[in-house]
Amino acid sequence: MKSTAAAIFTFVAGVIAAESSGCSKTSLPDDIELGKPFDLDIDSTSINDTTSTRNYRIQVPKSYKPGNAVPLMLSFHGRTKTAKNQYHLSQFSNSSFGFEGIAVYPQGIKKVGTDSSYQWQGDVEAPSYINDVKFTLELIDHVEKNYCINTSQIYASGKSNGGGFTGLLACDADATKKIAAFAAVSGAWYLDKDTQQLPACNPSRKPIPFLEFHGIIDDTIKYEGGNNSRDNGNTTNIPAYINAWAERDGLDVNANKTGTLCSGYQEVTTFKWGETLQHYRYSNFGHWWMSEFGNSDKENVTTCKEAAATSVILKWIQQWSL
C-alpha cells in the first residue's frame, strides 16, 4: 500500500510542544556546532549502580534555534557496532531526509574488564549488571536539560541488538512515559534459555506505537526465529513477535491489512494495524538496514524509496506524540 502522506516532518496538527528545561538556555553548549556530529559523554549509574562514564554521539541540525522545542530521535547501533556506525547507517542526521530534530546515537559498552563486543541489554551475552534502560533515561534527561526538546516527541529506533533493545524500551514502564513511539530494523529478540519466553512486557500505557522491518533471508536473526548466527541464543519468530504487540495494543491479530510495495525481486509485504502497529517484510534483504541507496551493511542490495527504513520511520513518527 503506497502512502500519499505529506512531506516529511510536518507533525500532528494541534500538538502543543511540551518544552524541556533546556528551552530556557539562550545558547548551545560550548562543545556543539550546528549541523556537525560530536562524541560526548555523561556520568551514568547504569553499571553496577555506581557512577561511571557513558558515551554518545549527537548532531543538532542547522535549523535549531535555542528556545524553539524540537523532537528527539534516539538511534541504537547493532552488536559489535558503534554510535558512529549507527550515525552513518541510519542517516537520521542527514538533512536531505528532512528531520529537523536532534538525533542522538548512544554507545553500548563491552563487558567490564573484557575485550568483548559492544552490545545492549537484551543480547544473550549482555551482563545483568549493565542497565541500558537506566542509561537511556539518564541520557534523555541530560539532553532535555541542555537543549530545547519537545518532551512529547521523543522516539527510539535501532538496528539488530539495538532494535531488540528498542523493543525492551517499548516494554518498560518508565521508558514508555518518556518515549512516544518505537521502530526496530532487523531486531533481535531473544527467548529466555530456560523458559523459552520473551522478557516481561509492561508498558505504562496502551497502545504503544511500534514499527518493525525484517528481511526474510536474514540468516543472523532469522525471520522464522531459532538460533542466531553465533549459535548461542534462540530468537523469537518475527510474525509471532508482531502479533504479541497487536494483542498488547488491544488490536485484533487477524485484522491487519496486507499490502505490497516495490516490485519483482525487491517486493516488500506490509502488515498494518492502522498506523499504530506496522511490519515490513523484505524479500531481498538479509540482516541489513533497508536503504534505497545501499550502505555499510550492504552496498549492492537496495529497496525502493517507499520502503526505505529511514524515510518510512521519519514519516511514521510524525503522528505520534505523548
Q: Is 245 helix (H, G, I), strand (E, B) or coil?
A: helix
Residue 238 contacts residue 225 (beta carbons within 8 Å): yes
Domain chopping of the chain, boundaries: 21-319
CB crowding 53-63: b at 16 or more within 10 Å, else e = ebbbbbbbeee
Q: What is the mean pLDDT of the segment spanning 59-69?
A: 97
Phi, psi of 14 (to 5 degrees): 90, -5
For residue 35, the tally of other CB atoms under 10 A from its CB is 12
Side by side, which strands form the sheet with 50-59?
A: 37-47, 50-59, 102-106, 70-76, 149-159, 181-185, 210-215, 277-282, 268-273, 257-261
Say what the pLDDT of residue 16 is.
59
Position 273 pLDDT exceeds 50: yes
Say what the pLDDT of residue 171 is.
98
Position 258 pLDDT exceeds 50: yes
Provide the β-strand partners of residue 121: 123
Please name the fold of domain 21-319: Rossmann fold (3.40.50)
Position 7 pLDDT exceeds 60: no
Residue 57 contacts residue 84 (beta carbons within 8 Å): yes
Say what the pLDDT of residue 293 is.
93
Say what the pLDDT of residue 13 is.
43
Cα separation, 45 vs 142, in Å, equals 13
Q: What is the mean pLDDT of the segment spanning 128-141?
A: 97
Three cell numbers written together for 223: 525471520
CA–CA distances in Å: residue 74 to residues 56, 108, 310: 10, 13, 13
User: In this prediction, what percent of the chain has a pLDDT beyond 90?
Assistant: 91
> Kind and range of the H or E element at 277?
strand 277-282
Q: Each residue of 196-243: pLDDT tens digit?
A: 999 999 999 999 999 999 999 999 999 999 999 999 999 999 999 999
Cα separation, 161 vs 229, in Å, equals 13
Q: What is the mean pLDDT of the segment spanning 47-59?
A: 96
pLDDT band of 6, cuts 50, 70, 90: very low
Cα separation, 102 vs 35, in Å, equals 10
Phi, psi of 108 (to 5 degrees): -70, 175
Amino acid identity, position 263:
S
Amino acid identity, position 168:
L
Q: Each residue of 187-203: pLDDT tens digit?
A: 999 999 999 999 999 99
Say what the pLDDT of residue 146 is.
97
Position 305 pLDDT exceeds 60: yes
pTM: 0.94
Amino acid identity, position 293:
F
Say what the pLDDT of residue 14 is.
47
Mean pLDDT of the chain: 93
Say what the pLDDT of residue 5 is.
35
| Angle in degrees, CA 77, 111, 173, rounded to 5 | 60
User: In this prediction, what percent of the chain has a pLDDT beyond 70?
Assistant: 94
